Amino acid sequence: MGTVLIAVCGLIIVASWSQRSRTDGASRAPSTSSMSARGAVPTRSITVLDTLPWPQDAFTEGLDRLPQGQSLVSTGRYGRSDIYFLNDDGHRAHVHHLPRKYFSEGIAATPTAVWQLTWKAGHAIRRDRQSLAATGSAHYEGEGWGLCYDSHNLLMSDGSNRLTRRDSNTFEKRSSLSVTLDSRPVGNINELDCAHNRIVANVWHRDELIVIDPESGRVTSVIDASELAPARDATGENVLNGVASDPEDPTILYLTGKLWPHMYRVRVDGLGG
């Protein structure tokens, strides 16, 4: 009986740790286990090609890379959530502050608009593609974490292993995709990038990213970005969170994190193959 109780308690602890707390004072020790150890998928290394300035007050929740060489950035925390364009010299443009009741999350640019998530409010904001001014909104159930656009649909994460496909004009739910590694679900999927017929995703509190097949949901490789991570701050929340593909070169990613001083342009070994 004692063995059974210990096992049950252990399962409860594991389940509770899979759900995050994103309050400003949240803390949790980052996981030290490797995603690649869970299955027979390649682990890809990175080479830093360039180090770009990044606003160190940016609690990065969403990152998108635009064809004209700009980054689109969404930052979180209640009362400090923003969206703006960021030039590679560090200059911000078209900054919009969200009301204090919203904690901003992922963003995605489509050819005609920009969509921005909020964490717990179930509120998606549609914005003008040029000025980033709000032009509409939509409601969704559950939490909002990451968002990307795959040239047809929006894909949204909610902290589980499930990605939801949504209409890029109305935000209506179209279908869902379960993400697995070695036939097991991968939870805590966070910021997303959709490009070059793949999905690259941050996993909350890990220094690795996963590459996902957009049809099957199967993780096809793991990217080791541990060499980029700065020393953890007092809360442990300045983690890797921000991934965007180069629109032209499938081997290049732009990576940053929450309250990081830099964004890195990196080449990923074997990613374009």
% pLDDT > 70, the chain? 84
Q: What is the pLDDT of residue 19?
A: 43
Element housing 262 (H / E): strand 262-268
Flag whether pLDDT at 31 surpasses 80.
no
Q: What is the pLDDT of residue 14?
A: 33
Q: What is the pLDDT of residue 237?
A: 84
Q: What is the pLDDT of residues 177-202, one digit of tens each?
A: 999 999 999 999 999 999 999 999 99
Flag whether pLDDT at 126 surpasses 70.
yes
Instruction: Tell me the mean pLDDT in the region 142-148.
Output: 97
Quote the CA–CA distance of 81 and 107 in Å, as a whole number: 12
Instruction: Tell me the mean pLDDT in the region 26-51.
Output: 70
**Structural domains for the chain:** 56-268 (2.120.10.30)
- pLDDT band for 36, please (50, 70, 90 cuts): low
Quote the CA–CA distance of 110 and 172 in Å, as a whole number: 15
Mean pLDDT of the chain: 87
Phi, psi of 183 (to 5 degrees): 70, 10
The residue that leads in pLDDT, 75 or 69, is 75
56 and 259 Cβ atoms separated by less than 8 Å: yes
Instruction: Tell me the mean pLDDT in the region 86-93.
Output: 94
pTM (whole model) above 0.75: yes
Flag whether pLDDT at 60 surpasses 50.
yes
Tokens for 120, please give them.
């717990």
192 and 150 Cβ atoms separated by less than 8 Å: no
- pLDDT band for 16, please (50, 70, 90 cuts): very low
Element housing 16 (H / E): helix 2-17
109 and 85 Cβ atoms separated by less than 8 Å: no
